[in-house]
C-alpha cells in the first residue's frame, strides 16, 4: 500500500481478468459480498481508526532487527500511549502496519517462523491487551509485496532461514515464495492472538488465493474483519480508499470513492500534510482544516476515517501530530453524538441533501436511525448568516445548535429548509440538530410501476421503486435511455428525488494510474403524459450536477399519470471505459407536495414581502416550488412593471453577488440605487425558481434594488439574495480536453499540427463571454477561428479544431502552446488553460511518441505523473491482464525494412514486455531495475511496413514495466 509507485502484482491472466470483472461489478454492486454481518457492527458504529506505519526502517533506519527492538524498548515505547492517542481522535480501532514492504517486513511479535525481522518482545500482544482494556480494537496489516526486499542495499528477507524451517527451497523475494511465507504468518497470528480484531490486507497474493487463505480465516476466526486496499473484493468486509485528492472542496474525501452503501468503506489518508506514511525524521505539519473536514465528510457518507500518523521509534508522535490529537480531544466531544453510530444522510438511510448549499456553503448530513433526527454539518460556512438546503420532504419541527443547545429560527417551503440568523460559527464544523416528523409528500413506492427502455439482466426497472436501496436498476451501458414511472392514475406531481448508485467518483481523475470519472446523469429531460403514448414537449430540459447524494428535478405543477425521465448522457466518456455509460440508479421517488407551513418566519428578501413596492402589472402569484409559496409575476415590458426592494442592507460598500430566483425563462434587469440596469438571462421553467446571479455595487447601509424585465412576458421572481462575491481565488470548475496530448515530436523543417479542444462546465455557475483558442508563440500561425459562446452553464460544452503551423524556414523548437478558455464569472475575467507541447524529434529517430499520447490505446492501463520521464508522465499498470496494454497506431516509417525500436521505461525488479508488430508473433523484452522512478531504455529489432504500422506492448499474465515513450531509429 504505502508505495507511491506500482506494486506490480503478477497475477495469472485468469485471476486478473476476474479481478477486472469484480471491479466492474463494484460499479453496480458487489456480487456475493458479505455486505451485512454481525462481526461488522462495531466498525459500522465507529467513526474513525488510527493507522500506524512503524518498523525497522522507521527513522533513524535500523538494518538489524535486534537493534531496532532495543531502541524501541529503550526509548520508552508503551502500547497505552497509542491507545490514548487513538481515543483523542475518536478512533475505535488501530491498524498496525509493521509487516510492511517499505519498513523491513518487521513482525512485532516473537515469531517462530524465520524469514524477516521479528521482535523478542511481544509488542503486538501488549497492544492488543492495552486496546481491549479501553475498548479500542487492533487490526494487523499484512502485505503481499516482496519487491522492496533490498531497497536499502541490505537483504531483509531470509530465504535460507525460511527454507530450512520448511524443509524445502523457497525464495522469499519472489511472489510465490513470499506468498507461502506470509501465508504461514497469518496462521501463526491467528493461533497466538484470539482477541485480535482482524487483518488489513494490502492487495492479494496468488498463493493466498490458490490456498483459500481468506476462507480459512473466516472458518478459524469468524469474528475477525478483513479489509482490502483500493479494490472491492467480495470476501472482504471493508473497502479502503487510499489517499484520494483533487476534489472540491479538498476535504470532501467521499467524492473520490467508488463503493455504494451499505458496503463498509474506509477513507485512508495521512494526517501529516507532507512526508511518507512512516516517520522519516521530520515534524511535518497537520492541516487542521483539511483533516477535520475529511473526518466529518467521511462520517456524512458512512465512511470510516482511517487516519495515518507517523510514530517515531519510541512510539511517540512528532509534536505537531500530538498537538492535533490534543485539539481533537477537546473539539469532537461536543459533537460526538452527531457522529458516533450515525449514518450518512441523503443516501439509503434517508436525510436531507448534502453537498453545496447557499452562498458558498458546503456540508454533509448525519442521521439517527429512521432519519427523523438529523445533523447538518456546515464545514464551509456561507457568506451570509443563513443556511439553505433541500429538505428531501422532511417536515422540520425544531432546529438547534448542537454545541450550545441554542434554538434557531427556520423557514421551510418550496423543498428547502432555511436556518436563519446564525451568529455562532465553528471554525471547522457548525452542527445543527434538526428534529423532524419524518418525510411527507411522496407517493408510496409500492403504488408506482417503473419501466425502462434498457435494463441489465437482474437489475430491472422495478428496482427503482421497490423501496430498497440495495436493489437497483442498471442501464446495461445504454445511453440515451428512458425511464417511465406510472402513477396508476392522473395525479399531481411536482418533483423527482433521484438516488443514483454511488459507484463512481464525482469528477475525472487518475487513481493509481487508471482513469476514473463520474457515471452519473448529466443531460436529461422530463416529459409527462396521461396515456403513456402522447408526451408533447418536455416539461424540463436541464443538466444534473455530478454530485453525491439525492438529486432533485423540479417539474412545476404537473397533472399526469406517466412521468418519463430521458437520460441523454452521463458525465463520463470513453476516456474512462470502466465508467462510460455505466448508469445505475437505486431509487426514484415522486413528490406531489413540498414540506412546510404558513406559520413560520419569512426568508429575507422575498419578492412578495409587503416591504417591497410593486409597480404596474407586477402582482403576486402562487408558486408551490417558491420560497414562501409565492412569487411576483407580470414583470415584462420594462421598468414600469417592477418590484423594488427599498432596504437591501449591507455593512460595507463594495461589489456583491446578487442572486435572483427566477421562474421561467427570459431576461431580467436589475437597477441598483437608480443606476443603469444590468441584464441577466434566466433559463428555467414556469413555477420553478432557478438561480441566476450578477455582480452589483452596493453602498454601506440601505440600498434600493429594482427588478423588471424588458421582455414582453418576462420571468417571475421568487426572491433575491445578497452575499459577498466569491473569494478572489475562486474559479468555476471546468474540464478542458486538448488533443493531441503528450509531447508532439516533430521532424525538422516547418510543421503543422491539427489541434482540437473541448471545454465543459462542471458546476452550476454561468460562464459569460466564453472564448476558446490556442495562444501561439511568436512566429507561429493559426488556421481556424476561436470558438465563442455568450453563456455556458452546467454540463454545456464549447469545442473547436484548429491547425497551428510553426515558423517558416526553421526547425521546430521546444514550446508549450496553451489552448486557453477565457470567460467572465460575475463580471470577473478568468481563464482555464492546457498546453499542447511540441519538440524537435532527434535526428537519429524516424518516429517518436509519448506513451501518454492521446493517439494511443492504453486499454485498462492508465497515465500517471513521472518527474524524470519525458513529458512528465508515463503509462502504468501495463500487464497482468489481456486488457491492460499500450498500443501505438499509425507508427509511420518512410520505407519497409528492419528498424530499432527504443523502449523508454521505468521498472522495479525483473519484468517483461511482449511486443507485437502489426499483429505478428510477440517478442519478449526483459527488463530489470530499482525504484521505478528513473527511465531506462531497451531496444528490439523490428520489421516495419512502409507507412503506418501498429505496435502493441503487453504482458497478459504478469505486470510489465511502466512505459515512458517509444521511438524508431
- Assigned domain for 24 exists: no
Bridge partners (DSSP) of residue 915 are 923, 953
- Assigned domain for 201 exists: yes
404-459, pLDDT tens digit by residue?
A: 999 999 999 999 999 999 999 999 999 999 999 999 999 999 999 999 999 999 99
Q: Decide: helix, strand or coil at residue 846.
A: coil
Stronger pLDDT, 13 or 729, i.e. the higher one: 729
Same domain, 481 and 548: yes
Look up the CATH number of the domain holding residue 670: 2.60.120.260
CA distances to 244, 286, 379, 433, 780 from 289, rounded to whole Å, are: 16, 9, 9, 22, 46
Same domain, 806 and 906: no
Q: How many domains, the chain?
A: 6
- Please check whether residue 329 is in contact with residue 344, taking contact to mean a CB–CB distance below 8 angstroms: no
pLDDT of 856 strictly over 60: yes
Same domain, 434 and 571: no
The pLDDT score that the predictor gives to residue 32 is: 55
- Please check whether residue 966 is in contact with residue 883, taking contact to mean a CB–CB distance below 8 angstroms: no
Same domain, 164 and 292: yes
CA distances to 669, 777, 869, 886 from 816, rounded to whole Å, are: 43, 8, 17, 25
Neighbours of 592 (CB within 10 A): 16
340-371, pLDDT tens digit by residue?
A: 999 999 999 999 999 999 999 999 999 999 99
561-610, pLDDT tens digit by residue?
A: 999 999 999 999 888 888 999 999 999 999 999 999 878 898 999 999 99
Q: Please report the DSSP string for 453-473 in residue order.
A: S--BTTB-GGGGGSS-TTS-E
pLDDT of 742 strictly over 50: yes
pLDDT of 717 strictly over 60: yes
- Assigned domain for 604 exists: no
Residue 763 Cα to chain centre, angstroms: 15
- Assigned domain for 151 exists: yes
Q: Decide: helix, strand or coil at residue 639.
A: coil
Domain stop point among 414, 439, 464: 439
Burial status of residue 876 (CB atoms within 10 A of its CB: 0-12, 13-18, 19 or more): buried
Look up the CATH number of the domain holding residue 803: 2.60.40.10
Compute the average pLDDT of residues 24-43. Answer: 69
CA distances to 318, 377, 428, 476 from 324, rounded to whole Å, are: 10, 20, 13, 47
621-646, pLDDT tens digit by residue?
A: 999 999 999 999 999 999 999 999 99
- Assigned domain for 21 exists: no
The pLDDT score that the predictor gives to residue 862 is: 83
- Assigned domain for 554 exists: yes
pLDDT of 34 strictly over 50: yes
Same domain, 480 and 576: yes
CA–CA dist 378, 395 (Å, integer)? 20
Produce one character per residue of 402-414: b if its CB has 16 or more CB atoms within 10 Å, e if not: bbeeeebebbbbb
218-247, pLDDT tens digit by residue?
A: 999 999 999 988 778 889 999 999 988 889
The pLDDT score that the predictor gives to residue 494 is: 97
Domain that holds residue 760: 734-840
Stronger pLDDT, 297 or 28, i.e. the higher one: 297
Produce one character per residue of 802-838: b if its CB has 16 or more CB atoms within 10 Å, e if not: bebebeeeeebeebebbbbbbbebbeeeeebebbbbb
Compute the average pLDDT of residues 29-40. Answer: 75
- Assigned domain for 729 exists: no
- Assigned domain for 215 exists: yes
Domain stop point among 439, 467, 484: 439
Confidence band (pLDDT; 50, 70, 90) for 864?
A: confident
484-527, pLDDT tens digit by residue?
A: 999 999 999 999 999 999 999 999 887 776 788 999 999 999 99
CA–CA dist 65, 56 (Å, integer)? 6
Q: Which residues contact 70 (CB under 8 A, 6 or more apart)?
A: none
The pLDDT score that the predictor gives to residue 518 is: 96
Same domain, 208 and 316: yes
pLDDT of 666 strictly over 70: yes
**Side-chain-side CA neighbours of residue 123 (13 Å):** 27
Helix axes 79-88, 319-331, angle to 10 degrees: 50
Same domain, 492 and 580: yes
Confidence band (pLDDT; 50, 70, 90) for 931?
A: confident
Do strands 238-242 and 225-229 pair parallel, antiparallel, or not at all (unpaired)? Answer: parallel
Same domain, 433 and 451: no
CA–CA dist 346, 434 (Å, integer)? 14
The pLDDT score that the predictor gives to residue 854 is: 86
Closest by alpha carbon to 287, among 267, 298, 308, 273?
273
Same domain, 311 and 363: no
Same domain, 831 and 858: no
Q: pLDDT over 90 for what percent of the chain?
A: 88
Same domain, 462 and 363: no
Burial status of residue 624 (CB atoms within 10 A of its CB: 0-12, 13-18, 19 or more): buried
* Lowest-confidence segment of 3-7, 73-77, 926-930 by average pLDDT: 3-7
The pLDDT score that the predictor gives to residue 13 is: 38
Question: Average pLDDT, whole number, for the chain?
Answer: 93
Same domain, 319 and 406: no
The pLDDT score that the predictor gives to residue 4 is: 34
Closest by alpha carbon to 951, among 881, 855, 860, 880?
855
137-190, pLDDT tens digit by residue?
A: 999 999 998 988 988 889 999 999 999 999 999 999 988 999 999 999 999 999
Domain stop point among 306, 331, 356: 331
Amino acid at each position: 500500500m504505502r508505495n507511491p509507485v506500482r506494486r506490480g502484482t503478477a497475477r495469472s491472466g485468469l485471476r486478473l481478468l476476474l479481478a477486472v470483472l469484480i471491479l466492474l461489478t463494484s460499479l453496480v454492486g458487489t456480487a456475493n459480498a458479505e455486505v451485512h454481518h454481525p462481526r461488522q457492527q462495531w466498525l459500522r458504529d465507529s467513526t474513525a481508526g488510527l493507522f500506524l506505519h512503524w518498523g525497522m526502517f522507521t527513522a533513524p533506519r535500523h538494518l538489524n532487527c535486534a537493534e531496532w527492538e532495543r531502541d524501541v524498548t529503550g526509548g520508552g515505547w508503551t502500547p497505552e500511549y497509542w491507545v490514548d492517542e487513538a481515543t483523542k481522535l475518536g478512533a475505535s480501532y488501530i491498524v498496525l502496519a509493521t509487516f510492511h514492504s517499505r519498513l523491513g517486513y518487521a513482525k512485532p511479535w516473537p515469531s517462530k517462523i524465520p524469514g524477516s525481522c521479528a521482535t523478542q518482545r511481544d509488542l503486538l500482544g501488549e497492544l492488543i491487551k492495552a486496546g481491549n482494556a479501553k475498548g479500542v480494537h487492533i487490526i494487523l496489516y499484512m502485505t503481499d509485496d516482496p519487491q522492496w526486499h533490498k531497497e536499502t542495499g541490505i537483504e531483509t528477507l531470509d530465504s535460507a532461514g525460511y527454507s530450512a524451517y520448511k524443509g524445502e527451497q523457497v525464495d522469499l523475494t519472489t511472489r510465490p515464495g513470499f506468498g507461502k511465507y506470509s501465508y504461514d504468518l497469518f496462521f501463526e497470528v491467528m493461533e497466538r492472538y484470539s482477541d485480535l480484531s482482524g487483518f488489513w490486507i494490502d492487495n492479494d497474493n496468488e498463493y493466498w488465493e490458490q490456498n483459500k487463505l481468506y476462507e480459512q480465516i473466516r472458518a478459524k476466526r469468524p469474528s475477525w474483519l478483513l479489509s482490502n486496499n483500493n479494490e472491492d473484493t467480495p470476501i472482504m468486509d471493508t473497502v479502503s480508499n487510499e489517499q484520494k485528492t483533487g476534489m472540491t472542496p479538498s476535504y470532501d474525501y467521499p467524492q473520490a470513492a467508488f463503493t455504494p452503501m451499505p458496503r463498509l468503506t474506509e477513507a485512508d489518508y495521512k494526517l501529516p500534510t507532507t512526508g511518507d506514511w512512516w516517520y522519516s525524521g521530520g515534524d511535518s505539519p497537520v492541516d487542521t482544516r483539511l483533516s477535520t473536514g475529511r473526518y466529518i465528510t467521511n462520517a456524512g457518507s458512512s465512511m470510516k476515517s482511517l487516519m495515518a500518523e507517523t510514530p517515531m521509534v519510541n512510539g511517540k508522535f512528532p509534536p505537531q501530530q500530538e498537538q492535533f490529537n490534543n485539539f481533537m480531544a477537546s473539539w469532537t466531544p461536543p459533537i460526538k453524538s452527531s457522529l458516533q453510530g450515525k449514518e450518512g444522510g441523503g443516501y439509503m438511510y434517508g436525510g436531507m441533501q448534502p453537498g453545496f448549499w447557499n452562498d458558498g456553503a458546503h456540508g454533509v448530513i448525519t442521521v439517527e436511525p429512521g432519519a427523523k433526527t438529523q445533523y447538518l454539518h456546515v464545514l464551509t460556512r456561507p457568506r451570509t448568516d443563513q443556511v439553505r438546503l433541500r429538505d428531501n420532504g422532511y417536515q422540520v419541527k425544531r432546529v438547534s445548535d448542537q454545541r450550545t443547545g441554542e434554538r434557531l429560527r427556520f423557514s421551510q417551503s418550496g423543498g428547502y429548509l432555511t436556518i436563519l440568523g446564525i451568529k455562532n460559527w465553528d471554525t471547522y464544523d457548525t452542527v445543527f440538530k434538526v428534529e423532524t416528523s419524518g418525510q411527507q409528500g411522496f407517493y408510496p413506492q409500492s403504488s408506482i410501476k417503473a419501466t425502462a427502455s434498457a435494463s441489465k439482466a437482474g437489475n430491472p426497472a422495478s428496482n427503482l421503486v421497490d423501496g430498497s436501496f440495495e436493489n437497483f436498476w442498471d442501464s446495461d451501458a445504454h445511453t440515451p435511455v428512458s425511464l417511465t414511472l406510472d402513477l396508476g392514475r392522473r395525479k399531481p406531481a411536482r418533483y423527482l428525488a433521484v438516488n443514483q448508485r454511488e459507484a463512481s467518483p464525482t469528477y475525472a481523475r487518475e487513481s493509481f494510474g487508471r482513469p476514473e470519472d463520474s457515471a452519473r446523469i448529466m443531460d436529461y429531460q422530463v416529459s409527462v403524459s396521461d396515456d403513456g403514448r402522447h408526451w408533447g414537449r418536455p416539461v424540463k430540459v436541464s443538466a444534473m450536477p455530478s454530485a453525491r447524494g439525492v438529486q432533485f428535478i423540479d417539474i412545476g405543477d404537473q397533472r399526469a399519470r406517466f412521468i418519463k425521465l430521458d437520460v441523454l448522457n452521463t458525465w463520463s466518456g470513453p476516456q474512462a471505459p470502466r465508467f462510460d455509460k455505466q448508469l445505475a440508479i437505486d431509487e426514484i421517488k415522486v413528490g406531489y407536495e413540498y414540506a412546510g407551513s404558513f406559520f413560520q418566519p419569512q426568508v429575507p428578501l422575498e419578492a412578495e414581502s409587503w416591504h417591497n413596492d410593486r409597480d404596474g402589472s407586477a402582482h403576486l402569484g402562487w408558486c408551490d416550488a417558491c420560497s414562501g409559496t409565492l412569487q411576483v409575476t407580470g414583470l415584462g415590458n420594462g421598468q414600469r412593471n417592477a418590484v423594488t426592494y427599498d432596504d437591501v442592507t449591507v455593512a460595507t460598500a463594495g461589489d456583491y453577488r446578487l442572486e435572483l430566483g427566477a421562474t421561467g425563462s427570459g431576461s431580467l434587469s436589475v437597477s441598483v440605487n437608480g443606476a443603469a440596469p444590468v441584464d441577466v438571462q434566466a433559463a428555467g421553467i414556469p413555477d420553478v425558481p432557478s438561480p441566476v446571479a450578477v455582480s452589483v455595487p452596493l453602498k454601506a447601509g440601505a440600498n434600493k434594488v429594482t427588478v423588471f424585465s424588458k421582455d414582453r412576458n418576462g420571468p417571475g421572481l421568487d426572491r433575491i439574495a445578497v452575499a459577498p462575491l466569491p473569494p478572489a481565488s475562486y474559479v468555476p470548475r471546468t474540464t478542458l480536453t486538448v488533443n493531441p496530448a503528450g509531447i508532439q515530436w516533430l521532424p525538422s523543417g516547418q510543421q503543422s499540427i491539427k489541434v482540437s479542444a473541448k471545454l465543459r462546465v462542471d458546476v452550476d455557475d454561468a460562464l459569460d463571454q466564453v472564448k476558446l483558442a490556442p495562444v501561439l508563440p511568436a512566429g507561429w500561425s493559426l488556421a481556424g477561428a476561436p470558438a465563442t459562446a455568450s453563456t455556458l452553464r452546467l454540463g454545456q460544452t464549447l469545442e473547436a479544431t484548429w491547425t497551428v503551423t510553426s515558423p517558416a524556414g526553421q526547425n521546430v523548437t521546444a514550446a508549450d502552446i496553451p489552448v486557453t478558455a477565457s470567460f467572465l464569472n460575475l463580471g470577473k475575467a478568468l481563464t482555464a488553460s492546457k498546453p499542447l507541447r511540441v519538440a524537435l524529434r532527434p535526428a537519429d529517430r524516424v518516429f517518436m511518441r509519448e506513451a501518454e499520447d492521446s493517439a494511443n490505446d492504453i486499454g485498462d492501463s492508465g497515465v500517471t505523473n513521472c518527474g524524470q520521464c519525458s513529458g512528465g508522465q508515463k503509462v502504468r499498470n501495463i500487464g497482468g491482464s489481456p486488457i491492460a496494454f499500450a498500443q501505438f497506431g499509425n507508427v509511420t516509417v518512410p520505407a519497409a525494412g528492419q528498424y530499432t525500436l527504443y523502449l523508454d521505461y521505468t521498472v522495479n525488479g525483473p519484468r517483461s514486455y511482449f511486443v507485437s508488430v502489426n499483429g505478428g508473433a510477440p517478442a519478449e523484452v526483459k527488463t530489470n531495475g530499482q525504484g521505478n522512478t528513473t527511465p531506462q531504455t531497451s531496444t528490439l529489432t523490428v520489421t516495419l511496413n512502409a507507412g503506418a504500422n501498429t505496435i502493441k506492448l503487453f504482458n497478459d499474465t504478469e505486470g510489465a514495466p511502466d512505459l515512458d515513450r517509444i521511438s524508431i531509429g
